[in-house]
């Protein structure tokens, strides 16, 4: 028996595999994978020394917790050959964007289901993983939360907020990359090389996020501490307000959330 089975070992499937092996305390021998792409499986088995299932039914039959990490369009095909093996003793964790729990349940039946929305920093164990459970069992919830913590911070959300977390943290890294790039370009305009400015911009964002997290202060309190009367920062902040900085961010998250709702239909 394997603790974990992963169906679909593409970008997200590999991020999950790596997080579990490096940071969850599980061993390679606890994990079995399945993918249509046999070349990919061969490389991953060599790299991580995990087992590979010859078919998806074998994986589901022998796994306690099953991650589904295929594209939403491939969901039904990916589990169809294994439908006989899903039962109330199996726990299924879906990372498929926009596939609601009721739809997963209508295909695989009585297993416990967790719908998740990870973001790309999960690749280095620093993601945000939004989760919705379709069951109340607290000990199981704790077990799954601990497991997913190997990918980053786990935040439980009601399922109706899954599109919102997609717009906020799912798309969030793209907003932050854009902000860092803009800071670096500004650095070039005021005399730095792009590489030099990028290094300064990246560390500024990283350090600021860490300071915020570690002090747990309101961002406005920390901002006020670096904003002295008639100093440089208030002049910069005024320009951001004039250009509609906050308005742009709020609109971006709202638009992305609405788009996620459209795509889920
Ligand atoms: N990437 C992200 O940042 C991210 C973030 C949040 C959520 N997600 C979700 O994660 C899921 C996977 O995304 P991804 O970017 O990792 O996609 P991906 O790289 O295309 O990986 C999907 C894998 O599933 C395999 N596959 C396709 N049909 C299959 C089947 N019937 N049985 C078994 N395996 C099958 C694919 O093989 P082939 O290559 O041969 O097609 C591929 O290796 C998606 O549902 C997406 O919504 C991704």
Residue-wise pLDDT for 9-29, tens only, equals 999 999 999 999 999 999 999
How many CB atoms are located within 10 Å of the residue 95 CB? 24
Q: pLDDT value at position 263? A: 87
> How does 109-131 read in b/e, with b if 16+ C-beta sit within 10 Å?
eebbbbbbbbbbbbbebebbbbb
User: Which of ligand 1's atoms lies nearest the C-alpha of 98?
Assistant: 47
CATH superfamily of 2-159: NAD(P)-binding Rossmann-like Domain (3.40.50.720)
Nearest CA to ligand 1 atom 31: 78
Assess whether the C-beta atom of 66 lies below 6 angstroms from ligand 1: no
Distance 121 CA to ligand 1 centre (A): 17
User: Which of ligand 1's atoms lies nearest the C-alpha of 78?
Assistant: 31
Assess whether the C-beta atom of 118 lies below 6 angstroms from ligand 1: yes
User: Which of ligand 1's atoms lies nearest the C-alpha of 97?
Assistant: 47
> For residue 114, what is the DSSP state?
E
Q: Residues 18, 47: contact at Cβ < 8 Å?
A: no
Assess whether the C-beta atom of 130 lies below 6 angstroms from ligand 1: no
Distance 226 CA to ligand 1 centre (A): 44
Q: pLDDT value at position 126? A: 96
pLDDT mean by block of 10 residues, the chain; 265 residues: 95 94 94 95 96 96 97 95 95 94 93 95 95 95 96 96 96 98 98 98 98 98 96 98 98 96 86
Q: Residues 255, 166: contact at Cβ < 8 Å?
A: no
Pick the CATH number of 170-264 from 1.10.3730.10, 3.40.718.10, 3.40.50.450, 1.10.600.10: 1.10.3730.10
Nearest CA to ligand 1 atom 18: 10
Q: How many Å apart are CA 20 and CA 95, to the nearest integer?
A: 15
Q: pLDDT value at position 189? A: 98
State the sign of the Cα–Cα–Cα–Cα dihedral 184, 187, 193, 199: negative
Distance 9 CA to ligand 1 centre (A): 7
Q: Residues 103, 113: contact at Cβ < 8 Å?
A: no
Backbone angles phi, psi at 154, to 5 degrees: -95, 125
Rounded to two decimals, the pTM is 0.92
Domain boundaries, the chain: 2-159, 170-264
Q: Which tokens hold the place of 3?
A: 């603790």
Nearest CA to ligand 1 atom 19: 10
Q: pLDDT value at position 124? A: 93
Distance 7 CA to ligand 1 centre (A): 9
Distance 251 CA to ligand 1 centre (A): 29
Please report which helix (H) or strand (E) contains residue 177, including its range. helix 172-189
Assess whether the C-beta atom of 9 lies below 6 angstroms from ligand 1: yes
Backbone angles phi, psi at 174, to 5 degrees: -65, -35
Assess whether the C-beta atom of 69 lies below 6 angstroms from ligand 1: yes
């Amino acid at each position: 028996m394997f603790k974990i089975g992963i169906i679909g070992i593409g970008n997200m499937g590999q991020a999950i595999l790596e997080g579990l092996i490096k940071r969850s305390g599980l061993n390679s021998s606890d994990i079995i994978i399945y993918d249509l792409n046999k070349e990919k499986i061969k490389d991953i088995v060599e790299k991580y020394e995990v087992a590979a299932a010859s078919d998806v039914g074998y994986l589901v039959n022998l796994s306690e917790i099953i991650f589904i990490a295929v594209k939403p369009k491939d969901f039904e095909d990916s589990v169809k050959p294994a439908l006989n093996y899903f039962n109330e003793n199996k726990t299924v964790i879906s990372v498929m964007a926009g596939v609601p729990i009721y739809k997963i349940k209508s295909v695989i039946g009585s297993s416990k289901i967790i719908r998740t929305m990870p973001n790309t920093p999960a690749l280095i164990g620093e993601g945000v993983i939004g989760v919705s459970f379709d069951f109340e069992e607290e000990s199981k919830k704790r077990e799954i939360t601990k497991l997913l913590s190997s990918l980053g911070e786990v935040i439980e959300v009601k399922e109706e907020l899954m599109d919102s977390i997609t717009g906020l943290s799912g798309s969030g890294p793209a907003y932050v990359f854009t902000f860092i790039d803009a800071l670096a370009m500004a650095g070039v305009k005021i005399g730095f090389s792009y590489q030099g400015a990028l290094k300064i911009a990246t560390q500024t964002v990283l350090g600021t996020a860490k300071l915020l997290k570690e002090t747990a202060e309101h961002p406005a309190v920390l901002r006020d501490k670096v904003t002295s009367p008639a100093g440089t920062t208030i002049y910069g902040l005024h320009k951001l307000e004039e250009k509609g900085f906050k308005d742009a961010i709020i609109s971006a998250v709202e638009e992305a959330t609405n788009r996620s709702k459209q795509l889920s239909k």
